Structure 1
Amino acid sequence: MGVKVIPRAARVYIGCALLGAGACALPALRPGATVPWGTVALLAALYALCELPARCRLIGRALGGSVPMGAGSFFPVLLASALLLPPAAAALTAVPGSLLARVAEPPAAPRRAWRAAATALAVWAAALTAGALGGPAALGSGPDAPDLPYALLPAGAAALAFCLVLTALDGGIRATADGLPPRAAWRGLLGRALAPHTVHGLAGLMMAVLWRSTYGPVAALFVVLPMYISCWVFAQYHRERAAHQATIRALVQAVDIKDRYTRGHSERVGHASVLIARELGMAEDRLDVVRFAGILHDVGKLGVPTRVLRKDGPLTPEERRIIELHPEYGHEMVRGIGFLGEARSAILHHHERMDGSGYPYGLHGEQIPEFARVVAVADAFDAMTSTRSYSRARPVPTALAELERCAGTHFDPRMVTALVQALDRHGWQPAVTADETASATETAPRPEQVPPPREPLPAPSAKEPA
């Protein structure tokens, strides 16, 4: 739920989920019901204990502020309860931890109530499925060995039921709280959740088998502890990644503020660079780096005087020399940012040309780093297809024809071919911000104001040397 005021439809939806969860748990609370309350209490306390660090600032600081966030990190405990307990009792184990789970946005009470209801319903469905397939009997007991590999069937089915119910409920709350169309509300939820829930199901099975063994519940902690540590490491990774993204955003915003005529250009070059790299078959771990290279290729403009960047019309030779320093400025700015890797050389060399006539060092051919050759094509393509104060946008086919004409002299033919193939497959629909649209509308020159091309090169601007 991404809104602070919960709509009426969402409140009704949450109320129905609470009623459903209450109905599922009610049989365990009736007088005379046979419920292993010791197991329920231990599993509920364990799940709540796993959620507690996200709420406790002292523990959070001790762990560097990167405790696992959200109930999804500890679903193996709930899936173990689905295999060990009757459905109504299993539903109860989810409630304390869900109520303790950290909530990112207010109002906290209805969000916690929703999470408790949804998780309880999912655990109830998982336990019902496991019970129907003989899951509890397949776990064995005491000295009796578990029935493997058959036990994998009820455990897998329980994890699938848990996943289906939880994603179905989450899609419903997105539709009612955020006002999304039904198709958009559920799109992608199941695909993203299926693999993690399968892993959680296997961990839950191991935990349940150890719980039923002669070693007892203490042995089950040997499953939870590694899972918790792996979740902490994963949270650390995401925290570091978020810091990287914030660094990139800050640099790009600074460039956009200084050079308002190219607002949105950096993101589009990053997108086009990824299209080219993916078409070339680059490894996934390099795609993020090439995207950073595209996004930050013009960060050196922060060192160029604003009057030069915002000048309408052709540049003087002295102004051209100043603006041609921006790759070196950019390289100096990002030199100490370790996570950029190959992107740093792309920032320095994205204006080099295959025939050696580029700058800053006049590299040619394979001497130019691969990422720089990718970004050079993406940069020129977006420059040609964008309207600026000093040039009108060219149609995509015209821009691609110009790139192909200059392949081998200005650009690496492989990169040009990759871009053409990628656009044939995916098209080109860059997102345009309102600011960018307004800038293009207000500052677009009359035809007679557009400076003539300096030479037959792909960037149709007298302002940015290719």
Structure 2
Amino acid sequence: MEALPARARVYLVCVTLLGLLCLLPLPGLPRPGVLSSLPDPRFPWWPVVLLAALYAGCERLARSRLVAGPHPGGTFHPVLLAGAFLLPPTAAALVALPGALLLPVEHRPRLARRLLRTGQLVVAVWAASLVHLKTGGRDAVAHCDMPGALATAGAAVLAFCLVLTLLDGGVPAPAPGGLPRGRAAAPAAWSRLFLGSLAPLTVHGLAGLMMALLWRSPYGPVAALLVLLPMGVSWWAFAQYHRERAAHQATIRALVQAVDIKDGYTRGHSERVGRASMLIARELGMDDDRVETLRFAGILHDVGKLGVPTRLLTKNGPLTPEERRVIELHPEYGHEMVRGISFLGEARAAVLHHHERIDGTGYPYGLTGGQIPESARVVAVADAFDAMTSTRSYSRARPVPVALEELQRCAGTHFDPRMVRALVRAIGRTGWHPAVTADEPGQRAVPGPAAPVTGRPGARR
């Protein structure tokens, strides 16, 4: 723990000690491991051992390559919450202990992260069990009183979520290599974390309540374990979705990095066009899937530059007619590159047609008006806007209001007026503060007026 700053060490010690205190029995409550509602109160440890082994095994399975997803930690909270609904607070806290301590930690400092994770889970489960006990949840579960069981389980889940949020958000911001950066200085971030965690934990709480009710039913613990089967299948499907999504993002990132390496003058341009395309799509009221697709379209719109000779992309002087025709082929090159990537959907049409103009003077096919796909009309506006507001070797960046005025001047001839209005409204409401693309080292921007929108093809407007 030498690498941790002093505040982080103090916080870690406090959370660890708090977790240890939760393992001590409270006066007047059943001792650890004793289920007071069982016929034989001398039957002490097997529910605790079974649930603890089940939790550790489920977490281990969730971290395996078979079902590993983007957020493996805390996957089987239903088991912990079932323990909170069945066991006294101290015994419920013991359920989280082995799994939290023994499971591996990916990042350093591993010991500190393991102790922090253990302390958070132990305290959260203890608090949930105590709330459940004090609100009469144990009797509601024993008598299968569904309204009462749901109400008390909801209170316990709320306590569980609140404690996890407070302990996670209270981690002090570390030096590099320390504990994860916390949210202690931002109450609004605490609120977002709580609200974001409450919905999934509510689902986990319902599964845990079902386990507890089946456990206490004539069918016994074996039936309770069957609840985990649909949860496991759901997690597996969720993990596969995120794995596929991560593969999509990696594919797009690799293509964009290749373009940035080839044409250093426009480094960062693709990401900004993707962001501006999202602003337009959201302003037009498109659903989330289309917004994401248009982000992909904006990011990949210039991928065809990989087929253009580098000497043309980096040429400082005017282009000859032959060179211009070569550069104007980049939308078709890009479409050939992405046409087989099925998840891009309508983004492929945007890659091909984002240089078409409403009046038919664009390229590669000279489409007019509604012949141009909607996705291409969105990206065309986003592309022109970022080209005007970024500093290049051949032009200085224009102020955002000047660029928007130029887009409005060209609306109806070059650009779809609806897309221009959407971008103007979105930027008027949220602003536009991206990092400006700088010139390459050793080169300076050419002084003088900014290049017009109708200038050179591709990135060189």
TM-score (normalizing by structure 1):
0.90
Identify if the C-alpha distance between structure 1 residues 181 and 95 changes in structure 2 by more than 3 Å, giving closer, same or farther: closer
1:95 to 2:97 alignment: yes
Matches within 5 A, 1:57-456: 60-61=64-65, 63=66, 66=68, 69-140=71-142, 144=143, 146-173=144-171, 175-176=173-174, 177-178=179-180, 182-184=184-186, 186=190, 188-432=192-436, 436-437=437-438, 439=440, 442-447=443-448
CA distances 1:333-352 after superposition (whole Å, capped 9, x unpaired)? 11111111111110000001
* Residue of structure 2 in register with 1:49 after alignment: 57
Query: 2 CA distance for matches of 1:345 and 1:88?
Result: 60
Q: How far 1:149 sits from its partner (Å)?
A: 1.3
Identify if the C-alpha distance between structure 1 residues 227 and 179 changes in structure 2 by more than 3 Å, giving closer, same or farther: closer
Q: How far 1:9 sits from its partner (Å)?
A: 2.3
Work out whether residues 171 and 184 of structure 2, in 8 Å CA contact, stay in contact via their aligned partners in 1.
Answer: no
Gaps of 5+ in 1: none
Identify if the C-alpha distance between structure 1 residues 294 and 47 changes in structure 2 by more than 3 Å, giving closer, same or farther: same
Query: 1 CA distance for matches of 2:392 and 2:114?
Result: 49
1:19 to 7, 17, 20: 17
Work out whether residues 168 and 182 of structure 2, in 8 Å CA contact, stay in contact via their aligned partners in 1.
Answer: no
Work out whether residues 94 and 120 of structure 1, in 8 Å CA contact, stay in contact via their aligned partners in 2.
Answer: yes
Q: How far 1:6 sits from its partner (Å)?
A: 3.3
Work out whether residues 73 and 228 of structure 1, in 8 Å CA contact, stay in contact via their aligned partners in 2.
Answer: no
Instruction: Classify the secondary structure of the residue corresponding to 1:27.
Output: coil
Q: How far 1:192 sits from its partner (Å)?
A: 1.5
Q: How far 1:465 sits from its partner (Å)?
A: 6.5
Runs of 4+ in 1 over 4 A off after TM superposition: 178-181, 459-466
CA distances 1:391-429 after superposition (whole Å, capped 9, x unpaired)? 111111111111111111111111011001101111111
Identify if the C-alpha distance between structure 1 residues 222 and 109 changes in structure 2 by more than 3 Å, giving closer, same or farther: same
Identify if the C-alpha distance between structure 1 residues 362 and 93 changes in structure 2 by more than 3 Å, giving closer, same or farther: same
Query: 1 CA distance for matches of 2:242 and 2:459?
Result: 37
Instruction: Classify the secondary structure of the residue corresponding to 1:45.
Output: helix
Partner AA of 1:33 in structure 2: R
Partner AA of 1:201 in structure 2: G
Query: 1 CA distance for matches of 2:74 and 2:291?
Result: 28
Query: 2 CA distance for matches of 1:306 and 1:5?
Result: 46
* Residue of structure 2 in register with 1:33 after alignment: 31
Q: How far 1:14 sits from its partner (Å)?
A: 1.6
Q: How far 1:147 sits from its partner (Å)?
A: 0.8
Query: 2 CA distance for matches of 1:172 and 1:444?
Result: 47
Query: 2 CA distance for matches of 1:402 and 1:139?
Result: 68
Instruction: Classify the secondary structure of the residue corresponding to 2:210.
Output: helix
* Residue of structure 1 in register with 2:453 after alignment: 458
Q: Name which of structure 1's ranges 36-45 and 89-98 shifts more when overlaid on structure 2.
A: 36-45
Gaps of 5+ in 2: 35-44
Partner AA of 1:195 in structure 2: A
Query: Which has the larger helix fraction?
Result: 1
Q: Name which of structure 1's ranges 263-272 and 216-225 shifts more when overlaid on structure 2.
A: 216-225
Q: How far 1:246 sits from its partner (Å)?
A: 1.1
Partner AA of 1:444 in structure 2: A
